[in-house]
Amino acid sequence: MPITRIPRGDEMVRKVVTVKHKYGIHARPAAKIVSLCNGFVSDIEIIKDGEPPANGKNILDIMMLAAATGVNLELRADGPDAEEAIEQLSVMMESDFDTNEI
């Protein structure tokens, strides 16, 4: 799905991705997500099935998503580097997180 801007005149960017990692998002992938998100100035949120947004920079929030393989997540970012943040995060989410661990 392409990256889209939310039509509010601000810098909010969003994209829906599917978790591809065969074990979903557990501790190691969550740590990688947080590490990536902390490299951006923008506020980054990850949303699962209409639940409250998880702060992409908070490992406990990411772990609480309990996102299994095949789950769709909405990524949102707001700030000066929002588009780049969403692009990099979406690539990571739809990959194997560069890991082969269980």
Q: Which residues are catalytic?
A: 26
User: What whole-number distance in Å separates Cα of residue 57 and Cα of residue 43?
Assistant: 8
State the amino acid at position 79 in one-letter form: G
- CB contact at 8 A, 77 and 42: yes
User: What whole-number distance in Å separates Cα of residue 86 and Cα of residue 74?
Assistant: 10
| CA nearest neighbour of 2 among 19, 20, 14, 18 | 14
